[in-house]
């Protein structure tokens, strides 16, 4: 069986698949050539990340396709239900990147609290005293309240780091419930669990949050989770991080709220127009930007590749 890993796969994942008798191609095929490549090379499995889309037209035009795999969490670049209705298997790896995304968010929380992203860019001016004054009014995370919008695996992983840093966590999810968040093991103290109350009433708690991190999928109707209405409900000086999906924040409304001082700072890893985000976001001194690298750690890529290999071998068996 032939596999096209069009957005790449870790060496360990490829090795596991090849050891099971699968042929794995990792050379990138342009989106415009995807259909012809699948058909001409008789690929039965296509693996993607966020760069390649597998829509209805690809599914209809490739009758030999049997499985579509997404390395990562969100599958908004795949017409999942349509594919399943046509008899294809569609899989992803939701657990593999939780820690890496959570750690990136923590890095952004520190960065936008202490101006790390902007001071780094301006240190080369050599105006040390001027810069020290400009960046000398940072804030601490300890004692602050972090709102986590979307409390799945990534949200819970983030909560464990935030609680460890001394933050209070308010979680917003689909249902009112209590989740036991497991903190990293402490030598001599073992594994600790902290109960976190989850509410489904976001509007009721937005005003209590000093920091907010989004961990929700792109909305089916294309609407933003955060727009001018939601920003108005927040504290003055709130800090926001989005490492979920572009489009869950209204970028026009975000810039207005940021420039008016309603929002103190923002950390973005995702954007509406990827891979070409708008320049006024990338150049803004109060926005810490990264190029959609939430799951891009060596460890996460290994876990993703290995989990995809397990899913494929489990679906089709060993080929040798």
Which phi and psi (to 5°) does residue 163 adopt? -65, -40
Whether residue 215 is predicted with pLDDT greater than 80 in this model: the reply is yes
Structural domain containing residue 221: 98-289
Sign of CA dihedral 77, 79, 83, 84: positive
Whether residue 171 is predicted with pLDDT greater than 90 in this model: the reply is yes
pLDDT at position 219 is: 87
40 and 22 housed in the same domain? yes
Q: pLDDT tens across 133-164, in order?
A: 999 999 999 999 999 999 999 999 999 999 99
Q: Say how far apart CA 225 and CA 74 lie, in whole Å.
A: 16
Of 128, 104, 117, 138, give the one whose Cα is nearest residue 283: 117
72 and 122 housed in the same domain? no
pLDDT at position 50 is: 84
Whether residue 17 is predicted with pLDDT greater than 80 in this model: the reply is yes
- What is the mean predicted confidence (pLDDT) over 32-48? 98
Helix (H, G, I), strand (E, B) or coil at 129: helix
169 and 40 housed in the same domain? no
Of 302, 293, 315, 305, give the one whose Cα is nearest residue 103: 293
265 and 308 housed in the same domain? no
Going by pLDDT thresholds of 50, 70 and 90, the confidence category of residue 72 is: confident
Output the six-digit token pair for 97. 């990147």
Least confident of 91-95, 116-120, 189-193: 189-193
141 and 70 housed in the same domain? no
127 and 273 housed in the same domain? yes
Which phi and psi (to 5°) does residue 63 adopt? -65, -20
Whether residue 8 is predicted with pLDDT greater than 90 in this model: the reply is yes
Q: Say how far apart CA 149 and CA 216 lie, in whole Å.
A: 7
pLDDT at position 320 is: 87
pLDDT at position 204 is: 98
120 and 247 housed in the same domain? yes
Q: Say how far apart CA 168 and CA 54 lie, in whole Å.
A: 40
- Number of structural domains (the chain) is 2
Output the six-digit token pair for 311. 């899913």
Q: pLDDT tens across 256-308, in order?
A: 999 999 999 999 999 999 989 999 999 999 999 999 999 999 999 999 999 99
Q: Say how far apart CA 298 and CA 10 lie, in whole Å.
A: 9
202 and 105 housed in the same domain? yes
Q: For residue 156, what are the CA distances in angstroms to 163, 226, 292?
A: 10, 21, 20
Whether residue 203 is predicted with pLDDT greater than 90 in this model: the reply is yes
pLDDT at position 253 is: 98
Output the six-digit token pair for 123. 């240190």
pLDDT at position 149 is: 98
Going by pLDDT thresholds of 50, 70 and 90, the confidence category of residue 177 is: very high
107 and 91 housed in the same domain? no
Q: For residue 274, what are the CA distances in angstroms to 173, 245, 263, 278, 292?
A: 27, 10, 23, 9, 9
The CATH number that applies at residue 12 is: 3.40.50.720
pLDDT at position 86 is: 96
Average pLDDT, the chain: 95
Q: pLDDT tens across 235-270, in order?
A: 999 999 999 999 999 999 999 999 999 999 999 999
Whether residue 183 is predicted with pLDDT greater than 80 in this model: the reply is yes
pLDDT at position 271 is: 96
Whether residue 189 is predicted with pLDDT greater than 80 in this model: the reply is no
Output the six-digit token pair for 307. 């989990």
Whether residue 223 is predicted with pLDDT greater than 90 in this model: the reply is yes
Going by pLDDT thresholds of 50, 70 and 90, the confidence category of residue 186 is: confident
6 and 142 housed in the same domain? no
Q: Say how far apart CA 112 and CA 110 lie, in whole Å.
A: 6
81 and 105 housed in the same domain? no
The percentage of residues in the chain with a pLDDT greater than 70, rounded to a whole number, is 100
Predicted TM-score (pTM) of the model is: 0.89
pLDDT at position 95 is: 85
15 and 109 housed in the same domain? no
- What is the mean predicted confidence (pLDDT) over 99-125? 95
Contact status, residue 227 vs residue 251, Cβ threshold 8 Å = no
pLDDT at position 53 is: 96
The percentage of residues in the chain with a pLDDT greater than 90, rounded to a whole number, is 89
Catalytic residues: 245, 274, 292
């Amino acid at each position: 069986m032939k596999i096209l890993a069009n957005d790449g796969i870790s060496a360990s994942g490829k090795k596991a698949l090849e050891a099971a008798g699968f042929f794995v191609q990792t050379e990138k095929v342009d989106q415009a050539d995807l259909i012809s490549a699948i058909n001409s090379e008789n690929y039965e499995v296509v693996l993607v990340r966020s760069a390649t889309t597998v829509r209805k037209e690809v599914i209809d035009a490739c009758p030999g396709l049997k499985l579509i795999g997404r390395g990562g969490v969100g599958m908004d670049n795949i017409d999942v239900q349509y594919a399943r209705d046509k008899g294809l298997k569609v899989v992803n790896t939701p657990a593999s990147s939780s820690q890496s995304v959570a750690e990136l968010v923590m890095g952004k929380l520190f960065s936008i609290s202490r101006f790390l992203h902007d001071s780094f860019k301006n240190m080369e001016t050599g105006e040390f005293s001027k810069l020290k004054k400009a960046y000398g009014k940072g804030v601490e995370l300890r004692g602050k309240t972090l709102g986590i919008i979307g409390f799945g695996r990534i949200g819970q992983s983030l909560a464990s780091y935030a609680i460890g840093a001394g933050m209070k966590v308010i979680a917003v999810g689909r249902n009112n419930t209590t989740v036991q968040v497991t903190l990293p093991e402490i030598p001599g103290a073992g594994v600790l669990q902290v109960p976190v109350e989850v509410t489904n009433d976001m509007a009721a708690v937005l005003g209590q949050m000093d920091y907010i991190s989004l961990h929700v999928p792109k909305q089916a109707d294309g609407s933003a989770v955060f727009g001018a209405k939601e920003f108005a409900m927040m504290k003055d000086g709130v800090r926001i991080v989005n490492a979920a999906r572009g489009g869950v924040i209204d970028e026009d409304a975000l810039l207005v709220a940021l420039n008016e001082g309603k929002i103190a700072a923002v950390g973005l890893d995702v954007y509406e127009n990827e891979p070409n985000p708008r320049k006024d976001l990338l150049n803004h001194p109060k926005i810490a930007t990264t190029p959609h690298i939430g799951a891009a750690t060596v460890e996460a890529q290994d876990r993703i590749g290995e989990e995809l290999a397990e899913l494929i071998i489990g679906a089709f068996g060993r080929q040798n």
